[in-house]
Amino acid sequence: MADPRATLDLKRQPGFGPVAWFCLFMLYAPIAVLFVFSFNAGRSVNNWSGFSLDWYVKAFHNEGIQDAAWISLQVAFAATLAATILATAAALATTRTRPWAGQTGAYLVINLPLMVPEIVTAIATLSFFALIASLSGIRFGLGTLIITHTVFCIPFAYLPIRARLEGMDLTLEQAAADLYATPWQAFRRVTLPLLAPGISAGAALAFIVSFDDFTISQFVAGPGQQTLPIYIYGAIRRGVTPEVNAISTILLMISILFVSASFLIGRRRQ
Amino acid sequence: MAESAAVEARSVTKTFGVAPDLVRALDDVSVAIEENEFFTLLGPSGCGKTTLLRLIAGLELPNSGDILLAGRSVVHLPPHERPVNTVFQSYALFPHMSVAQNIAFGLEMRGLARDEIARTVGEMLTLVKMQGLDARRPGQLSGGQQQRVALARALANHPKVLLLDEPLSALDLKLRQGMRGELKSLQRRTGITFVFVTHDQEEALTMSDRIAVMDRGRVQQLGTPLDIYERPVNKFVADFIGDTNFLEATALGEEGGFVRCRCAGGFELLVGGIPPAPGATVTVALRPEKIVLHPGGAHGTVTQAVYVGTDTNYVVQLSVKTDLGVRVQNAVDGRARFAVGEHVGIEVPPGAARLLKD
Ligand SMILES: Nc1ncnc2c1ncn2[C@@H]1O[C@H](COP(=O)(O)OP(=O)(O)OP(=O)(O)O)[C@@H](O)[C@H]1O
Ligand SMILES: [Mg+2]
């Protein structure tokens, strides 16, 4: 019997269930395996020999991991801060000004890092800093990583901030101006508070993109600048133990935490 | 020299966009709004009402022309330096602030003392009957309550001029009618000059001291509600305000300060207006309620009768091409006075009809 509600309801198409379950399985099964074996008592990552938290304890006491985590955190915090401020400024400049020539161009340039293959960015950045070093002798130390991360974090911070700005009623700022607020006061008292959820969401995304980055960091990082992903990569080459699973699980949890935070903050208040 | 107007626009032109898509939102508009006046900008959607208001508030710059407040040119001043306040069409309440914070905003920006701000906010809450709701967020208020907060927020600054952009359009009919009276008495009590925008002719006629009827970026007529209703200067104004019949007629000559005209169906009437050359074809505007029907006449035939409560609206056919709308009060027992198919005579009191320019 024809159900009048059935029009174009994907859920009612034949084969929807199996396809959906297959996709979910492919997405999450590997992660589930990784997660489960991080609790293995033995050294194997494919042979279960009982539950234990030993590998987590071990990972926490591993100095290599501690150092790498510290580097990752420093870089992620600094890059997030810089990228979020720049992205906010860029979002304001591309939505809150009179239309200017090259506005579309600016929008493209800001989002370019999303399109450029990571490996290209990595090699380009590496040669660029090498060139600066050979020409002027200036080395930036950890600054190299921070600057590089800032650049590719900008579009991730920019997009939610811009979306929030575009959804904001322009007459609110005009009402503030009508009520004697100078442009700066209107920004401080009206635009910024209303923009805050977008900024938080953008910052959370930027943080996690920086914290998880491997390809670019691998190329750009100097000696003694191992980030957590680089450390994990190195550890695997020395042999896979459930310790790697444990760190990866922690990394995954941090990611989930930040992405959910970004999502929830972005959704809060409309 | 005469006292300068509270608000004056001098030959203001404002366009949006460029060549092929150029919109002339205001085309050489001049108005002078007196102090303590309830002044209304009335016109159809897109005629430039909001644009003129935004130019006065400083939210938009004119291409040419001048805006003066109390005789002083303010075109070079940004909005926060102009002594006017606006009630926006969408209210534009700050969603992240409470009702009290919204009302206090303008006072804080001007750096008033804390206790003075608190006192004024209290006064304003009382004025708009919103006591006890000061801690609510705008999102927790009804449309009518938001409208009151928007009004209070603007009035708190005791502006010389208050700009109101269709403040009642979002309210339902009953509330709107109530607010009309409240706004009008508020304006009288405070003596603030109101510049009120609406596309509702009834609102304009009942509240205003003077009305500027606008169309396509131009002021078509400026005058008191009585002027506008009784003596529309052109077809647009006559058509936009109330119901009007437009009749082709032949001018026959002057007679006692009026012009005698003959319309289709052969009936003659004395109309007000500047006399044209005898024999000229003219357009006559005639309000349906000013026409008197006589039973058994020979001018036309009733082809339609629509009962509207106190009155009945008739359509009287004068000739094959010409219909006339007539509004007649019903008999005491509520029955219509004429029936469809009845032959009627038509009488128009001298001066009840107007000659129109185009
Ligand atoms: N920022 C803008 N950019 C381009 N065109 C505009 C802009 N603001 C107004 N216009 C145009 O100018 C004309 C007048 O607009 P305005 O908002 O003043 O009309 P209005 O009389 O207030 O109409 P409504 O009753 O619908 O509010 C319209 O044709 C409108 O499309
Ligand atoms: Mg408008």
SS (H, E, C) A32-82: HHHHHHCCECCCCCCCCCCECCHHHHHHHHCHHHHHHHHHHHHHHHHHHHH
**Torsion angle of the four alpha carbons A219, A224, A228, A233, in this order, in degrees rounded to the nearest 10:** 60
Binary contact (A174, B85; C-beta < 8 A): no
The alpha carbon of B306 is separated from its chain's Cα centroid by a whole number of angstroms, namely: 27
**What confidence tier does B66 reach under pLDDT thresholds 50, 70, 90?**
very high
Parallel, antiparallel, or unpaired: how do β-strands B245-255 and B281-286 relate?
antiparallel
* Residue ranges of A 189-208 with Cβ closer than 8 A to chain B: 189-190, 193-194
Give yes or no for residue B47 CB within 6 A of ligand 1. Answer: yes
Q: Closest-CA residue in chain A for B103?
A: A179
Average pLDDT, integer, range A231-244: 86
Higher pLDDT, B300 or B10: B10
Could you count the other beta carbons within 10 Å of the beta carbon of residue A52? 13
Q: Do B92 and A269 touch (CB under 8 A)?
A: no
Q: Over 70: is that where the pLDDT of A7 sits?
A: no
What's the pLDDT score for residue B194? 96
Handedness of CA B263, B269, B270, B271 (dihedral sign): negative
Torsion sign, CA atoms B106, B108, B111, B112? positive
DSSP structural state of residue A21: H
DSSP state of A191: I
Q: What is the pTM of this model?
A: 0.81
For residue A171, give the nearest of B92, B96, B109 by CB distance.
Answer: B92
ipTM over 0.85: no
Pick the residue whose CA is nearest to atom 12 on ligand 1.
Answer: B25
Mean pLDDT of B133-157: 92
Query: Does A174 contact B80 at a Cβ distance shorter than 8 Å?
Result: no
Task: Report pLDDT for B1.
Answer: 43
Note whether B110 contacts A180, CB cutoff 8 Å: yes
In whole angstroms, what is the distance from residue B281 CA to residue B305 CA? Answer: 30
Interface test with A, best of B96, B98, B107, B158 (most A CBs within 10 A): B96
* CA dist., res. B74 & res. B59, Å (int): 12
Average pLDDT of chain B is: 90
Domains of chain A with bracketed CATH: 62-266 (1.10.3720.10)
- pLDDT, mean of residues A149-161: 93
pLDDT tens for residues B159-171?
Answer: 999 999 998 887 7
In this complex, the residue of B78, B92, B157 whose CB is nearest that of residue A175 is B92
B36 pLDDT tier (thresholds 50, 70, 90): very high
Compute, in degrees rounded to 10, the torsion defined by CA atoms B69, B72, B78, B82.
-40
